[in-house]
């Protein structure tokens, strides 16, 4: 019996709301005052093992293990029976426990500078496809071109005991030290420090920028500007070198006013574009050395009402190669943009395959001087480049 200090005794009404809940509803006349309830502690969910799966499927534990790990040939009818049993028990293999036994996690890390870059998105597709084909998972990290964030990602990947790391580094001078201290295989892609002797997959950026600049020279341009990326990165310095060589071979001067330094982000392309297009003697052609800066440059062209290619020809970098979808953003622009198309997917695929090759070695050691795989870019000539008007 429960008493209320302000009135007569209340009548307890006890009813079961659910099997695991008991409720006491206190009434004063027909008006409920309060509800007090007690939850029975939920029963602990059982964790099933391979032995349980084997028992339900009517096979041996070894057969279940073979199906889970895909290491042996098992008859399809047996595979289906095991998979049905796993589904019925909601069984998921304990990969952590397995990795401790075999000292292998079947995971690799991939650190890229910018997820918003179409080139690096294409690279990641290649990495993931190559890894998935051999049963590997990929942990993706975005460094945002920040050295400290990159180091945090590397430490996190190493603490998770990934088998290896694929890295487009924003801090090229600490790579050797990281590799030496961790002992974990690292394959670089896109960006490689001077004198690096480890495994890497890169694009021939010197040749790519050379051919882009040479195309403009052959059209008759003599006042050609260049918007470079971060010159502490090999991609930017190599493209700048290709631009310089093309001018030198054509006996054209390299004007300081026409050489701009960006940072691979749209704002730097925009600001440098404004400066170039506002010059008293502005260039008749501009090469922008990455896709995001090209977007900024195109914004400057639009704002200043400069006609392309009548008043300025433009070549940009970055576009999926080969163009597997039949079209790209560059073809949707007016005029259609001439670009240097990098084989991003192939960079990612070959980087992952290089790492998997290292991991297949018994000691996982890289050779003292591993080969660097160099891929070629493609110059796609469209309507944003034309002969200068006199």
Q: Quote the pLDDT of residue 74.
A: 81
Give the mean model confidence (pLDDT) for residues 232-260.
Answer: 95
CB 349 within 8 A of CB 127: yes
Highest mean pLDDT among 85-94, 145-154, 220-229: 220-229
90: left (phi > 0), else alpha (psi -120 to 50), else beta?
left
Q: Which residues are CB-neighbours of 276 under 8 A, at least 6 positions away?
A: 225, 227, 258, 260, 282, 283, 286
Task: Kindly tell me if the per-residue pLDDT of 40 is higher than 60.
Answer: no
| SS3 assignment, position 222 | coil
Q: Quote the pLDDT of residue 178.
A: 64
Confidence of residue 319 (pLDDT cuts 50, 70, 90): confident
- Strands (E) across the chain are located at 11-18, 21-28, 31-39, 107-112, 137-142, 164-167, 186-189, 200-203, 224-228, 259-261, 285-288, 313-317, 338-341, 372-375, 378-380
Confidence of residue 100 (pLDDT cuts 50, 70, 90): very low
Q: What is the pLDDT of residues 265-300, one digit of tens each?
A: 999 999 999 999 999 999 999 999 998 899 999 999
Q: Quote the pLDDT of residue 2.
A: 41
- Domains of the chain by residue range: 1-44, 50-93, 104-203+345-374, 205-343
Highest mean pLDDT among 36-45, 65-74, 155-164: 155-164
Nearest alpha carbon to residue 341 among 299, 373, 298, 379: 379
What's the CATH number for 205-343?
Answer: 3.40.50.2300
Query: Do 104-203+345-374 and 205-343 agree at the fold level?
Result: yes
Q: Quote the pLDDT of residue 377.
A: 95
For residue 323, the tally of other CB atoms under 10 A from its CB is 14
CATH superfamily entry for domain 104-203+345-374 = Response regulator (3.40.50.2300)
Q: How far from chain centre, in Å, is Cα 83?
A: 32
Q: Quote the pLDDT of residue 365.
A: 55
Q: Which residue would you say has higher pLDDT here, 365 or 330?
A: 330
């Amino acid at each position: 019996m429960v008493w209320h200090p302000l009135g007569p005794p209340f009548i307890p009404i006890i009813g079961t709301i659910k099997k695991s809940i008991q409720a006491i509803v206190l009434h004063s006349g027909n008006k409920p005052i309060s509800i007090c309830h007690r939850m029975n502690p939920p029963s602990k969910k059982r964790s099933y093992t391979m032995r349980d799966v084997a028992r339900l499927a009517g096979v041996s534990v070894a057969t279940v293990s073979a199906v889970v790990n895909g290491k042996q040939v098992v008859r399809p009818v047996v595979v289906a029976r095991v998979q049905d049993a796993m589904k019925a028990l909601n069984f998921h293999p304990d990969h952590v426990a397995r990795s401790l036994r075999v000292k292998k996690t079947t995971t690799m890390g991939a650190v890229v500078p910018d997820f918003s870059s179409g080139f690096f998105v294409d690279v990641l597709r290649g990495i993931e496809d190559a890894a998935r084909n051999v049963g590997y998972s990929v942990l993706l990290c975005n460094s945002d071109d920040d050295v400290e964030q990159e180091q945090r990602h590397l430490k996190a990947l190493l603490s998770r005991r990934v088998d290896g790391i694929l890295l487009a580094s924003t801090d090229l001078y600490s790579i050797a030290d990281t590799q030496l201290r961790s002992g974990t295989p690292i394959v670089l892609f896109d960006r490689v420090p001077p004198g690096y002797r480890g495994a890497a997959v890169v694009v021939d950026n010197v040749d790519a920028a050379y051919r882009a600049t040479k195309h403009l020279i052959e059209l008759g341009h003599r006042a050609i500007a260049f918007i470079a990326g971060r010159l502490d990165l090999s991609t930017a310095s190599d493209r700048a070198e290709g631009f310089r060589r093309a001018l030198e071979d054509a006996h054209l001067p390299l004007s300081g006013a026409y050489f701009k330094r960006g940072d691979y982000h749209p704002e730097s392309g925009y600001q440098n574009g404004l400066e170039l297009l506002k010059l008293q003697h502005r260039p008749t052609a501009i090469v922008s050395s990455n896709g995001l800066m090209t977007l900024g440059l195109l914004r400057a062209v639009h704002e200043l009402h400069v006609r392309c290619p009548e008043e300025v020809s433009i070549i940009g970098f970055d576009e999926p190669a080969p163009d597997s979808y039949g079209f790209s953003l560059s073809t949707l622009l007016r005029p259609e943009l001439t670009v240097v198309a990098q084989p991003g997917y192939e960079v990612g695929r070959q980087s992952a395959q290089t790492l998997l090759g290292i991991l297949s070695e018994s000691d996982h050691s890289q050779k003292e001087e591993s080969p660097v795989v160099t891929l070629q870019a493609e110059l796609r000539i469209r309507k944003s480049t034309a002969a200068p008007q006199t």
